[in-house]
Amino acid sequence: MQRVVIVGSGCAGLTAAIYTARANLEPLVLVGADQGGQLSLTTDVENYPGFPDGVMGPEVMENFEQQAKRFGARLEYETVVEAELKAGGPQRLTFDSGREIEAEALIIATGARPRWLGLESEEKLKNKGVSACATCDGALYRDVPVAVVGGGDTAIEEALFLTRFAAKVSVIHRRDQLRASKILQDRALNNEKIDMCWDSVVDEILDLEKDEVTGVVLRNVKTGQKRTLDCSAVFVAIGHTPNTEAFKGQVDLDESGYVLMPQAERSFTSVDGVFVAGDCADHIYRQAVTAAGMGCRAAIDCERWLAARE
C-alpha cells in the first residue's frame, strides 16, 4: 500500500511529486512510456518562466525529476494498463508487467498526445520545423511562410496566433469549409496573412535531405492533383488524445477522453481520493506552465484530503 501514487512524469506529475514529497507523503511516481511528457520531446523552450535565454525541453524535465527526488519522491519505470478505482480507496493499479499496487490517494497526470498525420517525413522532421504547438514554437518562425494543418477551432486559433510572427500562414484543410466556430472563421478569412488551401491533404513534408522543413506536397482530394507549397514550418493541429485509456469506466471522462473535474478550480475527480492534473484534463491551454500549476493544485488537494482522514 502506497500513500500517494502519481501516474505520469511530465510537468504536472513531477510538480505534484515535488509538493507531495515536501509534505512528507513519500509519493511514488509511475513514469510511464513517455518519460518527461511532451516537454521532453521539445528542443527550444522559450516561454517557460525563469529561463530568459530559453532552455532545452529535456533539460527542464531532468531538473523537475532531480528536484522531486531531492525531497524524497520515488520513480518507477512502470506503465499503468488497468485501474480499479473506488471512493475513499484503496486505488488499485495494474502495470503492463502484470504487477499490481494499491494507493490511499491517486493523482492522474498522464498527459495527452498530439494526433499526427502519420507520415514518415513528419516523424523525421519533428522539432526541425514540424510542431504540434504554435504557442510553443511560433515565435521561432518570424517573417517566413508557415503552414497549419486542420480546420477546427484549434487550427484556426493557431493560424491567427502565427500571423503575429510569420510572413504568411497557409491553412491546409481536407474539406471546402472550416469546422471552426463562426467568429474564428470570420477572423481567419478576413486576415490578409492567412491563405486557405481547401480540399487538400499533406502527402509529404519537405525536405529530408536538408533535415529541415522547406515545404509540403499537397494533394487535392477531389482532383488528385499535387502541388508543392513553400513553407518553413508545419503546425499540425488536428487534435489531441488524452492518455486515459487505463481509467476508462473507472473515473468520469468526457466524450473525448479527458478526465472531468466536477468542481471548478479544484483537482477532484468523480472518485473520492483520486485527483487529476495536466493535459489529461486540460484541452484548452495545454502548456507546460499550466500543467505545472495543475500539479501543484492536485498535490495540495491530495495532501489535505489525506490529512482529513487521519
The pLDDT of residue 43 is 66
Q: Quick check: is 199 catalytic?
A: no
Q: Is the pLDDT of residue 41 over 70?
A: no
- Alpha carbons 106 and 188: distance in angstroms, whole number: 43
The pLDDT of residue 141 is 95
Residue type at 50 in one-letter notation? G
Closest CA to 200 of 184, 235, 176: 176
Backbone angles phi, psi at 8, to 5 degrees: 125, 145
Average pLDDT of the residues in 36-49: 78
Task: Name the active-site residue from 11, 137, 231, 279.
Answer: 137
Helices (H), 5-107: 11-22, 57-70
Task: State the fold for domain 2-114+240-309.
Answer: FAD/NAD(P)-binding domain (3.50.50)
Cell 488536428 identifies what position? 238
Average pLDDT of the residues in 206-211: 94
Q: Judge whether 252 and 269 are in contact, CB under 8 Å.
A: yes
In this chain, the answer to whether the domains covering 2-114+240-309 and 120-236 adopt an identical fold is yes
Domain assignments of the chain as residue spans, ordered by start:
2-114+240-309, 120-236
Buried b (16+ CB within 10 A) or exposed e, 206-220: beeeeeebbbbbbbe
Q: Quick check: is 231 catalytic?
A: no
Q: Judge whether 11 and 64 are in contact, CB under 8 Å.
A: yes
Window from 38-42, 172-176, 274-278 with minimum mean pLDDT: 38-42
Q: Quick check: is 44 catalytic?
A: no
Task: Name the active-site residue from 11, 136, 197, 231.
Answer: 136
- pLDDT tens readout for residues 82-111: 999 999 989 999 999 899 999 999 999 999
Pairing of strands 168-172, 145-149: parallel
C-alpha cell at 75: 520513480
Which regions of the chain does DSSP assign to beta strands (E)?
2-7, 28-30, 44-45, 55-56, 74-76, 80-84, 91-95, 100-108, 112-114, 130-131, 145-149, 168-172, 194-197, 200-206, 215-220, 226-230, 234-236, 240-242, 274-276
- Alpha carbons 119 and 110: distance in angstroms, whole number: 25
- pLDDT tens readout for residues 287-306: 899 999 999 999 999 999 99
Task: Name the active-site residue from 44, 53, 96, 133.
Answer: 133
Q: Model-level pTM?
A: 0.80
Q: Judge whether 163 and 194 are in contact, CB under 8 Å.
A: yes
Homologous superfamily of domain range 120-236: FAD/NAD(P)-binding domain (3.50.50.60)
Closest CA to 150 of 130, 128, 125, 173: 173
Q: Judge whether 153 and 181 are in contact, CB under 8 Å.
A: yes
